[in-house]
Amino acid sequence: MVFSSLTFLFAFLPITLILYYLVPKKAKNVVILISGLVFYAWGEPVYVLVMILSTFIDYTAGRIIDKYDDRPKVRTACLLVSLIMNIGLLATFKYLGFIIEALNAGFGLAIPNPNLPLPIGISFFTFQSMSYTIDLYRRHIKVQKNAASFMAFVTLFPQIVAGPIVRYEDIQNEIDERTITEKMVGDGISRFIVGLGKKVLIANNIGLLWTEIKALDYGELSAVTAWLGILAFTFQIYFDFSGYSDMAIGLGRMMGFHFPENFNYPYMSHSVSEFWRRWHITLGDWFKSYIYFPMGGSRKGLPRTIINLLVVWTITGIWHGASWNFMLWGTYFGILIVIERLFLGKILEKIPAFFSWLYTFVMVVFGWVLFDAVAPGTVAFGDVFGQVWTFISAMFGANGTFIDNTAVNYLVNYGIIFAVCIFGSSDVLKNAAEYIRKKAPTWVQYGFPVVDTVIMLASIAYLSTSNYNPFLYFNF
C-alpha cells in the first residue's frame, strides 16, 4: 500500500486515525502496531514475518543488553547477534540474487538463483531496528521493556517502508508519552497534503518523460533529449522521495510524533558535500553515526579520512540497491567528496555562487545517470558501464545530433512542468509562506487551507484517472 493511493486515503488512513484518536492513551501503541502490520502486509503478507523477526531479535537483544549491564562480553555478544541477523536478512533478500547472477555472468557458472522477492522497505526497517540495539549498547538510550511499544516503534506505518529513518532516540520520549494537539493535527494534515501534491502532481507527471526517454535507444538520442530525460529523473526522484517524507512527517505529526526532517532543498547546494547534508538527511546521519565515526571519521589523518569516506560512500551505494550501477553511484559521490575535502571545497567557497551551484547541480545530475539510466535486470559490469557511458556520451552530442523534433516536442509538452519543478525545488515558496504567516493580515492567511484543499482535490482527481503512480524508494 502506498500513501498516494485511493485505498490508503479513503479507507486505511481514516479508519486508523479514528481508532487512534478514540482509544485510551495506553492503547494507542497497540493501534500503531496493528495498523503498521496491516499496512505492511497489504501487498506482501508473507514478508511481514521478516519484519517481525527483525523486531523480535532486536527487542530480545535489547533486554539482555540492559539486564547484563555489567557483563561486557554478554552485551557485545547480543549486539553482534542483532547486527549479524539484521544484516543477514538484508543480504539474503536484497543481495543474494545479485551476487549469484554476477558470479554466473563473470565465471560462466550455473548457480541456481532463488529469485527471492525483495521485502518492501527492508533497508529502512532493519537500519531503524539496528540503531536501537547499537544506541542501547552505547548507553545513549534507555531500554524499552514493553514489547508492544518497541514493535510500535518499528512498525510505525508512516515511515516503515521509505523513511525518514527514525532512530529510537529521536522519539524515545514520545513512544510512551506524547501529546496530540489541534495545531499538531492541523500542521500534520497540511504537511501530508503538500507531500501528496509533490508526489502525485509533480513527480508522477515529470516521471512520465523519463520513462519515455529511458525506453529509447541511447545510441540515437539527441543531446537535448538526453539532458531532458535525466533532468526529468532529477526532479522526479526529488519530488517523489521528498514528497513521501513530507507525507510521513505529516502523518507522524497527526499521531503525536516529531520525525526528523529528511530534505532541505538539496538542489540549492553549492557543493556536493552540502548536497548530501541536505538530501536524505536521516540516512546520512545513520551512516555517520554507525559507520563513519566508528571507523575514525576524520580524526586519524587525511589518508585514513579518504579511505573512510570512500568505504562509507560505496556502502551507501550498495544500500540503495543490488547492482553495479548503485555501487558506482556511491563510489562516484565518495570520490567527489574526497576531492572537495582535498582542495575543491575551498575553491567553491571563493568563486561566484552561481558557478559553485552550477558545478554541484551538474555533478548531481551525472550521478543520477549512474543511478537510473541502466536497464532493469542488467547484471554484467561491462553492460552497466556501457549503458551509462552511452547515455552520458549522448548528453555531449556523441550521436551527432544536438536537437531534433523529438526534443522539441518534449520541450513544448513538458516546458510548464519543468518550470514548476525548478520553482518548487527552491525555497522561494517556503520563504513566501513564512513571510505571509509573520507579516500578512489574518484574512490573507486563510488562503493556506484553500491552497491545501485545491492540492488535495487535484491529487485525488489525478489518482482517479491515472495508472502511473510509482514510489521510487519503495524499491530500497
Annotated catalytic sites, by residue? 320
Give the Cα separation of 8 and 40 in Å (integer): 12
HSE-CB of 148 using CA atoms within 13 angstroms? 11
CA distances from 380 to 31, 321, 371, 377 (A): 46, 15, 16, 9
CA 104 to centroid of chain Cα atoms: 31
Burial class (CB in 10 A: 0-12, 13-18, 19+), 102: middle
**Considering only CA atoms, which of 275, 258, 294, 245 is closest in space to residue 131?**
294
> What residues contact residue 447 under an 8 Å CB cut-off, 6+ apart?
436
Q: What is the CA radius of gyration of the chain?
A: 23
Residue in the structure block whose three cell numbers are 510524533: 257
